[in-house]
Amino acid sequence: MKGFLFLFMLLSVAGILGAAEYVVSVNGSDQNPGTVGMPFRTIQKAADVMQPGDVCIVRAGTYREWVKPPRGGISEMKRIVYKAAPGEEVIIKGSEVVSNWKKQSGNVWMAEIPDSFFGKFNPFKTNISGNYIRYGRDYHLGDVYLNGESLKERINRQDMEASPKTFFIEDTDSTTRIFANFRGIDPTRELLEINVRECIFFPEIKGLQYITVSGFNMMHAAANWAYFRAFQHALLGTYWGKHWIIENNIISDARCSAIVCGNDPSGENEGFDVESVGHHIVRNNEIRRCGQAAIHGFKGWARSVIEGNLIEDINIKNEFGGFETGGIKIHCPVDLTIKNNIIRNVRIGEVGQYAGIWLDWSAQGCRVTGNIVYNSTAPALFLQNGHGGTVLVDNNIFEGEIRSSMANCIYVHNLFVNCNWNYQFENFSPVFYEPHTGTVAGQIPIAYQNDLNYNNIYTQTGTAEIEQYPGFRFNQNVYWQGALPSTYGDSESIVKPDFIANVVFNSFKNGVELTLLSDNSLVKVKARIIDADFVGVNNITGQKLDDWKGNNISVNTDIFERNRNMKKILAGPFGELNRGKNQMTFNAGKKF
């Protein structure tokens, strides 16, 4: 009742503002006018009639559709908003229920499905495909879900018969046969679904602006492998849109990627207009169980903010992989901010490259700040193939490998927990842009230079193995628990290899609890504020440490966004730490 009253009040306010309000319900009809009393049945029907400024409220229930918005808004005040009703669980699925299972032998059952069931797209007759896949091309885009749990595909029937909770595909000219090992479970008594749609919310019209997608539980999309030289589909995407807000959603079980910016094919060294794309906000979402990436994209995330998201369980089935897998994997990012995300359990595959946060090719003016990346077999951070120009990495907590083939990067006030540094030279010549644009200013080979490494805490593994390159500056760091400093800097750093910080990550449903021990090292180190004046102007791009609006950046706050004590600036991401045991709780979707 409270939810209904809130919905009524929300729609009343929208009416006062001159916007139309539409309601969707599983008990509605697309022949209705879309009112509270006579709602639509599908979200697509609301999308077809909505105009700039309109709001669509979706009531509780399960909707099985691909929403293809035909238009967007025209300003912040005239957005088109798609929103779950307050306090109600709205589920949008790319799957359909399959109930015609017939027992074969032992634990194996079979469902035969006519091709007409799928329409133009049959994921069970479509293989994983695309550039930079290094293994797993025999697998299909189709997936089978037993009570919401994704089964693993097996390439031959014998393996399926021997492996519980797996399936095997057999094609005929007009049908698809799905054989599945349910390990003693009778599928006719359970919820069995198969994915049938590439996407769940993705426009067919390029460049829509000012769309909000909020509060939904979206799952079971069959979009193919995303890579940067081809058109990208995903469970949800903007198709080269601008000013989208994607917030407060739970997104899971994308066969490949959950969210992409979506772009037409183009080359990585071609410029683009940052004024016509991006400026998105992706915040406070939970994204899990994706085969390739939680958030992927190429160029179209310019001037966007990705913040407050929980990303977990990426590539956990390890059926396919290559060079495009990660929690967040963005190509050609310009002025992108990745902030306060919790990323965990990103798994490496058989071959290829993987990372929790991965910025690739010509990253410029980006900031990675306040993130926690831990408990992954993949590297925590990968900055690849660029000239920086600059890229700022501050106030993060990383556990695992740090990998770089990018110049002009600034690492400030981070906590590095057993982070092995891998400067991986790659013989490429990426472009660089005029400051805060996508206009190509030049193209030169990568040369490591001008990395700054200040005010960080290292435990177990330090910077001793990092070679000296032109302009590298390392100082005012703290090294604990066996971590050793660089051999050419760190003259004012504190090194206490015998002090055991004992950093522990304790995961819970929507966040992580961090405990660590501290001594007086953080007080003794003579840390200073790192700002635009200290960093200077990038010698390649001519860009300084500022944002795209021209505001100089100063790292004068901590991971909690509290102002640092100017009289005693501590190394690491915390403005304050007690001697002895410290315990902190970080909840995804809430301000740290």
361: in domain: yes
Listed in sequence order, the residues at least 6 apart from 502 whose beta carbon sits closer than 8 Å to its beta carbon are 481, 515, 516, 517
332 and 275 fall within a common domain? yes
Q: Tell me: the pLDDT tens digits for 148-176? A: 999 999 999 999 999 999 999 999 999 99
Residues 406 and 305 in one domain: yes
Q: Which amino acid is at 147?
A: N
pLDDT in tens, 417-469: 999 999 988 899 999 999 999 999 999 999 999 999 999 999 999 999 999 99
The answer to the question of residue 100 being in a domain is yes
* Residues whose CB falls within 8 Å of the CB of residue 303, separated by 6 or more in sequence, listed in order: 274, 278, 279, 334, 335, 336, 548
Render 575-586 in DSSP notation, one character per residue. S---SEEEEEEE
Q: Are residues 451 and 330 in the same domain?
A: yes
Two structure tokens written together for 422: 């891998």
Specify the pairing of strand 511-518 against strand 580-587.
antiparallel
Residue 253 to residues 221, 286, 327, 415, Cα–Cα distance (Å): 7, 12, 14, 31
In a domain, 542, yes or no: no
At 473 the three-state DSSP class reads strand
Q: Are residues 136 and 233 in the same domain?
A: no
Residue 69: both structure tokens together: 């918005």
Q: Tokens representing 10?
A: 């929300």
User: How many domains, in total, are found in the chain?
Assistant: 2
- Between strands 402-406 and 421-423, the pairing is parallel
State how far the alpha carbon of 136 is from the alpha carbons of 140, 268, 583, in Å: 9, 25, 42
301 with 280: CB under 8 angstroms? yes
Q: pLDDT tens per residue, the chain (592 residues)?
A: 545 555 555 555 455 457 999 999 999 999 999 999 999 999 999 999 999 999 999 999 999 999 999 999 999 999 999 999 999 999 999 999 999 999 999 999 999 999 999 999 999 999 999 999 999 999 999 999 999 999 999 999 999 999 999 999 999 999 999 999 999 999 999 999 999 999 999 999 999 999 999 999 999 999 999 998 889 999 999 999 999 999 999 999 999 999 999 888 889 999 999 999 999 999 999 999 999 999 999 999 999 999 999 999 999 999 999 999 999 999 999 999 999 999 999 999 999 999 999 999 999 999 999 999 999 999 999 999 999 878 999 999 999 999 999 999 999 999 999 999 999 888 999 999 999 999 999 999 999 999 999 999 999 999 999 999 999 999 999 999 999 999 999 999 999 999 999 999 999 999 999 999 999 988 899 899 999 999 999 989 999 999 999 999 999 999 999 999 999 999 999 999 999 999 999 999 988 8
Query: Which of 479, 494, 522 is the last residue in one of the domains?
Result: 479
Contact assessment for residue 306 and residue 296, using Cβ atoms and an 8 Å cutoff: no
Same domain, yes or no: 275 and 421? yes
Domain shared by 395 and 277, yes or no: yes
Write down the residue that tokens 């080359």 correspond to: 267
DSSP 8-state assignment for residue 91: E
247 and 148 belong to one structural domain: no
- 125 falls within a domain: yes
Domain boundary among 445, 479, 513: 479
Before 390, cis peptide (omega within 30)? yes
Phi and psi angles of residue 340, each rounded to the nearest 5 degrees, phi first: 55, 35
And the tokens for 132? 């930079």
Query: Is residue 507 in some structural domain?
Result: no
Q: Are 337 and 369 in contact (CB under 8 A)?
A: yes
Same domain, 124 and 187: yes
- Please give the distance of CA 81 from its chain centroid, rounded to a whole number: 22
What are the angstrom distances between the C-alpha of 356 and each of 125, 467, 574? 31, 24, 22
CATH number where 425 lies = 2.160.20.10
**Of 193, 216, 238, at which residue does a domain stop?**
193
Domain extent for 164: 95-193
Is 246 within the bounds of a domain?
yes
Q: Do 271 and 130 share a structural domain? A: no
**CA distance to 405, 472, 533, per residue, from 449 (Å):** 11, 6, 18
| First-to-final CA distance of the chain | 33
Q: Are residues 188 and 254 in the same domain?
A: no
Q: Residue 485 falls within a domain, yes or no?
A: no
Give a yes or no: residue 568 inside a domain: no
Q: How many helices (H) and strands (E) does the chain have?
A: 5, 50
- Nearest-angstrom CA–CA distance, 193 and 115: 16
One domain, residues 306 and 175 = no
My answer on whether 429 and 301 are in the same domain is yes
Task: Read off the CATH number of the domain in which 132 is found.
Answer: 2.60.40.1180
Q: Which amino acid is at 422?
A: N
Residue type, 154: R
